[in-house]
Amino acid sequence: MRYHDPWYDALASGWGELDGAGVPAPEVPYARREDEGRALRAGDVYVEVQRSAAFQEVRSRYLRFVVPGMIVFLAWYVAYVVAATTAPGLMARPVAGAVNVGMVAGLGQFLTTFLLTWAYARHARLRRDRAALELRWDTQELTRGVRGGVS
Amino acid sequence: MTGNHQTLALLLFSGFVAVTLGITTWVSRNRHGSAEEFYAGGRLFSPMENGFAIAGDYMSAASFLGVTGLIALYGYDGLLYVVGFLVAWLVVLFLVAELVRNCGRFTLADVVAARMSERPVRIAAGTSSVTVSVLYLVAQMVGAGSLVSLLLGGTSPAARAWTVIGVGALMVIYVSLGGMRATTWIQIVKAILLLSTTVALTVLVLVRFHGNVDQLLLTAADRSGHGLAFLAPGLKYGGDWTARFDFMSLGLALVLGTAGLPHILSRFYTVPTARAARRSVIWSIGLVGAFYLMTIVLGFAAAAIVGPEAMRKSNAAGNTAVPLLALDLGGANSTGGTVLFAIVAAVAFATILAVVAGITLASSASVAHDLYASLRRRRAKPYSEVAVARTAAVGIGVIAIALGLLARDLNVAFLVGLAFAVAASANLPVLLYSLFWRGFTTRGAVWAVYGGLIPALGLVLLSPVVSGSPDSLFPGVDFQFFPLQNPGLVSIPLGFLAGWLGTVTSTEVPDEAKHAETEVRALTGAGAV
């Protein structure tokens, strides 16, 4: 029985290996095919997919979120650590009751971590997952075509 | 501590050991013995299960006992640790979890070696993974040793030694018999136990202070003897500039190290897809974040309720803050206090045991899958990998027991910080370069690993931790050269620099097709196992 859902399909397939159960026997016996030619053509599939507009779109959506996100939270964290070690006076300034600037900044780190986690998950779910799934499916179809001679 | 505490704590802990051994037996009853099963538990855990397991792997005794102790003694400066431990997860979530799940099979080296000449890269990445794991493991073993003498009253060296040996033997049994599946379930059980204990203690603290956090902080500041300075940074790391740079170094190591810890990376392979890996990281960020927020409350509560003198008397580093707090919250000299104290002690032991099992599994995977597979003779039997991994688990157990016995006087938090620094210097640069840099080459990969690993370890050897100060490992001799205790500030940039240098100086033309394959696979999941 073969699942036609690529998420399941992936469990049976390996890194640079032929699929397990369910794939029709290759028309040409395995031993006769030239390994290098096969690898080259399978590699070509990935180059082709990488150059496709669909993949470039997924890639740039990922990078457009992750790069600014990383810069923002690393800068915020480094600023926090540097402020805590070099400007304790600023951090000790009271805000309300016993709570001071340092406490607010520390809890702010927790808050931004939770917020960025939520934003990342939402961005990935809405902007990336669907396109990535389709690309995965297409890529696996292409490599299967190249490798097995059938699809 | 009285006999009642000991008996009850031992009873509860034996219960935990019995349950986990039961899990191990039950899980290994119908295992297949494949590498997939042993290293990745069949890759069929749900995101929630894996999220709990990741949180279980991450919330070590160092955070439960060590960080609360630091907050209780030094106030705000202990809180800085907690922030670093949590923010680090964003690096994991953004750059590592999904891509590593898509590209690799079992270990960090899988991701790197896919693009490069396999043997040298695998040996390098395997070596650094095992080094990081062993450092982390020794920290946990040392923690177990000091915990037993602190909590169960037996300060004799023999009791310590037997605890370390016992913990080591149990972890070898869990790992070599149960593999990833048993280890994951043990982590889940432990995470639930630890979180519910922490929630219960936090609720009791808030009830004691009638929900008034402000009053809790003021009482803590008052009782600490430092006044309001207790609530601001500077008590521990505010001295001279060496101390301040040391803290920045630690902060950098904490935030970048998590993404290079082998036992965290290997957890992403226990779920079926990258999306599931992402969701498990989100679960663990929620759990870890909630846990650390509660440890802040517990740390300040220990300062307010137990007071610094009582804590210092019990343990100079403050490691017993939480158990002492539990004793007081349950009602000192009453059954409630005894029960709560025993529960906390047993949970702390369970924490150490579970974390130790997770690290042992990850390092045995590195030994068998990376080092042995690269160094063995060509015609070895194909099914031997799991057998090698089981043997490696025994070997690593023995090494960890031996080092744990030798290093028993080292500070636990320092060892954990060191493991994070080595992970950030040796593992993170090579991982990020191979995922994101088109022109990265084999020489770059090898240089990135050794260029981070060797400076990190070398600087520690030349630091005041090893020689030249009264607290160091060899106080008699002085070959101290590097002033900081944590090498991260220097060795992490060196790791990145070495990777870049190795790449630009190598004559190898980067394989465009392989880079395309890595990138497409990383972002889409095509061909992922």
Rounded to two decimals, what is the model's pTM?
0.87
Q: How far apart are CA B418 and CA B463, in angstroms?
A: 12
Domain made up of B3-524: CATH architecture: Up-down Bundle (1.20)
In the block, residue with structure tokens 């679960």? B283
Q: Encode chain A (151 residues) as per-residue pLDDT tens digits.
A: 444 444 443 333 333 333 344 444 343 334 334 444 555 566 788 888 888 888 999 899 999 999 999 999 999 999 999 998 888 888 888 888 788 898 999 999 999 999 999 999 999 999 888 888 888 888 888 887 776 544 4
Q: A139–B289: do the CB atoms touch at under 8 Å?
A: no
Q: How far is A54 from chain B (nearest CA, A)?
A: 11
Q: B21-56, pLDDT tens digit by residue?
A: 888 888 777 666 778 888 888 888 999 999 999 999
Sign for the pseudo-dihedral over CA of A138, A142, A147, A150? positive
Which chain B residues are within 8 Å of A55, Cβ to Cβ?
A: 520, 523-524
Window B:170-229, CB contacts with A under 8 Å? 214, 217-218, 221, 228-229
- Nearest by CB: A102 against B76, B292, B520: B76
Alpha-carbon distance values, B190 to B5, B183, B353 (Å) = 21, 10, 9
- Nearest by CB: A113 against B90, B98, B529: B90
- Secondary structure class of B420 (helix, strand, coil): helix
- Find the residue in A nearest to B219 (Cα): A98
pLDDT reported for residue A2 = 42
What type of residue is B47?
P
Question: What does pLDDT average to in each consecutive run of 10 residues of chain B (529 residues)?
Answer: 68 84 79 77 89 92 82 88 92 93 88 86 92 87 73 67 81 83 89 94 92 87 84 79 87 92 92 92 95 93 88 76 85 79 84 87 88 73 74 87 75 78 94 91 93 92 78 74 87 95 89 87 84
Going by C-alpha positions, the residue among B152, B89, B136, B91 that lies closest to residue B366 is B136
What letters, b where the CB count within 10 A reaches 16 and e where it falls short, cover B514-528? Answer: ebbbbbbbbbbbbbb
Q: A113–B221: do the CB atoms touch at under 8 Å?
A: no
Window A:23-82, CB contacts with B under 8 Å? 40, 43-44, 46-47, 49-50, 55, 58-59, 62, 66, 69-70, 73-74, 77-78, 80-82
Work out the angle at residue B355's Cα, subtended by the Cα atoms of residues B352 and B359, and round it to the nearest 5 degrees: 135
- Secondary structure class of B473 (helix, strand, coil): coil
> How large is the ipTM?
0.90
Strand partners, A100: A94
pLDDT reported for residue B352 = 84
pLDDT reported for residue B380 = 57
Q: How far apart are CA B157 and CA B161, in angstroms?
A: 6
Eight-class DSSP state of B467: B
What letters, b where the CB count within 10 A reaches 16 and e where it falls short, cover B245-283? Answer: bbbbbbbbbbbbbbbbbbbbbbbbbbbbbbbbbbbbbbb
Enter the tokens of residue B515: 């880079």
In the block, residue with structure tokens 């990336």? A128
- Nearest by CB: A140 against B214, B519, B527: B527
| Domain limits, chain A | 30-148
B278 touches chain A (CB under 8 A): yes
pLDDT reported for residue A151 = 40
Going by C-alpha positions, the residue among A67, A66, A56 that lies closest to residue A119 is A66
| Domain limits, chain B | 3-524
pLDDT reported for residue B252 = 92
DSSP string, B424-482: IIIIHHHHHHHHH-TT--HHHHHHHHHHHHHHHHHHHHTSTTTBSSTTSSBTT------
Going by C-alpha positions, the residue among B348, B331, B370, B318 that lies closest to residue B152 is B348
pLDDT reported for residue B415 = 77
The backbone torsions φ and ψ at residue A100, rounded to the nearest 5 degrees and listed phi first, read -115, 180
pLDDT reported for residue A25 = 38
Q: B98-109, pLDDT tens digit by residue?
A: 999 998 888 888
Q: How far is B520 from chain A (nearest CA, A)?
A: 6
The backbone torsions φ and ψ at residue B481, rounded to the nearest 5 degrees and listed phi first, read -135, -35
What type of residue is B204?
L
- Nearest by CB: B278 against A7, A69, A124: A124
Q: A143–B526: do the CB atoms touch at under 8 Å?
A: yes
